[in-house]
Structure 1
Amino acid sequence: MRLFRKKIKKMASLNTSTGDVQIQFKESESRQYVNENEQASDGKKNGDIYDEPANIDENGRKTNNKQLQQSNSFVRCLMILVVVLVVIVALMAVSVVILMFLTVKLSNEINETKAQLADLSSSIESVDFSLGELSCLNGASFVDLRGKDVGLEIVLQRRERFGDNILFNRGFEAYEAGFGDICGAGDLWFGLQRILILTQIGKWNVRISMRQFTDDELFWGEWTDFKVHTIPFYYLSLGPLVANSDNMVNTTGLASGFDYHNGEAFSTHDRDRDTSPGNCASIRGGGGWWFKNCQRMMLNGNRTTSENLESLVQMNYWNGNEGTIPLASSEITMIRVG
């Protein structure tokens, strides 16, 4: 019994001493942890580089983000610059193509002009010979016409009521060269080539005289600045009406009739240059004229007869008040004024 009690006491003292050791060990760990915390706190107060590595990482990320943004901005600027350069190069390429096209077009126009001048030169030589033999010009040569006195009159077209029945239903070449006796009293067409040459070397008026088929009444009008130009189109060019018969404006509408054709090219049944969907020369009897769409005056139509009196194929002019009026005769005369 005594031995048992001694063992219990010995075990109790061992447990007590072991507990002391554990207590002492825990107190030692506690002191070490406190000391470490105090040192960390002191280091923070003294400005030592010790605290908060997480914050250092966050600042580094901010710096990296800023550098990345700057890099992206630079790349965007570079891409914009490249796009601008590409656009500039494309515009330059288009400009070069347009310039080449205009150059080719201008070259073609120059060549066409040279060809027209060559044709004009050959036409002048042939017209010189023809005009030199014109008894109606008192034997004047082409060169003499340059200094001819004001007042010279040349008949360009004549249709008589009871003429020699020369057909005006002809092709372009006939109208270009002329037909009929240009010095005689009968029907004639002076020729587009001759008209063009003469109107280029002087200043001319043009007078149109007509007689109505029904009552043979005469009326006339005169326009300034008459010209025919540009081979092979022979465009008609007119100035304003400057003189007329007393009955012309009120009863015939002649002024508006001829003005309607101003600026038009000369058309025939084989050379359609009018603005109508059809061929006006073919529709209106086959004669050539400065058709538009189609005409308000047609002096080269078929000769008027009782049978075609109501037709548009005969010589006629258009009067806004009275409609289309058939003609018995007509004459176109160019007058030298300068």
Structure 2
Amino acid sequence: MANPAEIRLNVPLRPYTTLRAGGPAERFAIADDVEQLASLAEQAQLSQERATVLGSGSNVLPSDAGVPGLTILNLARRIRIARTGEVVADTGCGFQELFLKTAQCGLHGLEFAVGIPGTLGGALVSNAGAYRSNISEFLTSLEIVHEGKRQWVSPDWMQFSYRDSVLRRPNPPAAVVLRVSMRLPVGEPMRIYDEAREYQRQRIGKQPPSPSAGSFFKNVNDRELAESLETLPGPLKMAGVVPAGYLIEASGLKGFRMGGAMLGRRHANFVLNVGGASATEIRRLAAFTRETVYRRFQVSLEEEVLYLGDWSGYSQQ
């Protein structure tokens, strides 16, 4: 049986998010392993308390008003790998760490995880991916706590789609993902590392040093729009994919600042905290960006970043 985790009240969440913004957690606990994570999730669900799980905090923005219920910092990081390709990993492990450990065992498929700052749990919620790969394609099962019951389920339970899962949608089920089982193909070590180095090289040139959440908006899948853009690279036109950063930059917003929040100068799809920005300032900049891009291209950008907590008092003004 897991040792009970300490629960603290009104804990500031700024230090636990890469955007360094947001208010306090009403109740806060740290889960050091899967057993503690499962116990906290079961208790919250059985008492009908909202449970919010944080990993590295790289794809979330808590409200300045705070996050009601129980916020759990997931530090469950165990990874077990068989050379035949079977992997069982706790959701609190770093996504990049998972790649490195699987690569060391000669398994490929997760090269795109290099440079992604989040945890496996966050990658699952948003079906993280890059360079035409997604985490969901490698999963064989997931262990979850749902309605107070701990169980293994099929990946279909997550209803994965592009940068999306059932846990991202409005009124998501009360569920916490504890760990996953996946199968990765055996690969050639030299090729695995060469591919990962190339992805890392591309990311270094784009990612800014200021606090950010990584890519803030999802790319747009719209073949007609892609074909209409004269300066969009040919491979993207053929794929029917328009990067959000391309649309933001073409709308004249690269480097645009609102209070302490700014759109990246290196890459326009990064919203940066450059001056102690509040969560409200960051969200207002995101809303302004969406509106400007829509006026220019008649396409609605959708956030990758999840807004956590109580936003009932939020206003775009």
TM tier, smaller: under 0.3
TM-score, normalised on structure 2? 0.24
TM-score, normalised on structure 1? 0.23
Higher strand share: 2
Q: Which has the larger radius of gyration?
A: 1
Q: Which has the higher contact order (CA 8 A, sep 6+)?
A: 2
Higher helix share: 1
